[in-house]
Amino acid sequence: MAKKKYLIVGAGGFIAGHITKKLLDEGNVIIAADIKPKKFWFQKFVDAKSYDKIDMKDYNNCVNMTKNVDYVLNMACNMGGMGFIENNKTECMLSVLINTNLLRASLINKVKFFFFSSTACVYNIQKQKKTFIKGLKEEDAYPAMPEDGYGWEKLFSERMCRHFMEDHGLEVRIARYHNVYGPLGTFDGGREKVPAALCRKIATAVLSKKNEIEIWGDGEQTRSFLFIDDCVEGTLRLLNSNHSEPINIGSDQQVSINQMADIIEKIAGIKNLKRNYLLDKPKGVRGRSSNNENAIKVLNWQNRVSLKEGLAKTYKWIYSELKKDSLNSNKYCRS
């Protein structure tokens, strides 16, 4: 699929930004679109046609942007960490308009291929009530009981992709991402996910010489976390495959939030941080991990970057970003 013309929707975001850069490096023609102004994009793309402040929930925008495009990658959605997802269910659900209208426009403009970025939040929450559960297989999304709001939107959009393929012959690919993290992503402001949030909190403690951090929940809830480089590799393998069913792109290295905080503290060279557990904050499911059997079999892909290695790179980047603003002392008032 090299040297084709891609429309990447949500290109100003974290995962999409890294994928856009990789596809540009491979010599492809890229049209990058995002609702955010360019100054808020995580990466800038000199070699791409970039369109900011464009709302792809609007059907006419979708029709215009998909003209003369070979492949559409829908990476756009209104989402963030658990705090944002729990408190903004309506906004998360409205992202269904992006996928629906992009699919309709792709048919009109005879797009060859459509990619949808889904999430592990589609999995049945009844199967995630214990810590350190077995990795979730793709079929564990049914019977359907995903996380409210964001999870339902993603599961519904998966079904839309499937039916556009069955009814209209549109080639689709669907990745279920599991907690992707790494440099050049959100680490504050309320939309950050756990790895970035903990890296920020611990880096802030180091810089401010404070000896405490806050953790949402009791810290015993578990997840698996996928480093961005592995995510990009797995996604590109999926794009080049013939696999049209949803597939996990995640890590099977499951850890508790407390264990991850231990790893980051060692990376930061700090000991004995007091942990204030906020039991009234959104916590999500009790345990979640990815079963990668299908990815290994179908894509010949397995994550390679260990959690310790990935967190070291992420912490280093977040620490450097915070240090740049060290003159702004109120930057370190957040816990």
Helix 96-108 with 150-168: angle, nearest 10 deg? 20
CB atoms within 10 A of CB 309: 13
Q: Identity (one letter) of the amino acid at 66?
A: T
Active site residue 150: yes
| Of the candidates 42, 10, 8, the residue with the CA atom closest to the CA atom of residue 28 | 8
Question: φ and ψ at 215, to 5 degrees?
Answer: -130, 130
Q: Exactly one of 150, 177, 315, 319 is catalytic; which is it?
A: 150
Backbone angles phi, psi at 287, to 5 degrees: -150, 140
Distances (CA, A) of 283 to 80, 93, 151, 194: 13, 20, 15, 10
Could you identify the residue written with the tokens 């309506």? 90
Say how far apart CA 330 and CA 217 lie, in whole Å: 26
**Apex 150 CA angle, 142 and 309, nearest 5:** 90
Active-site positions?
150
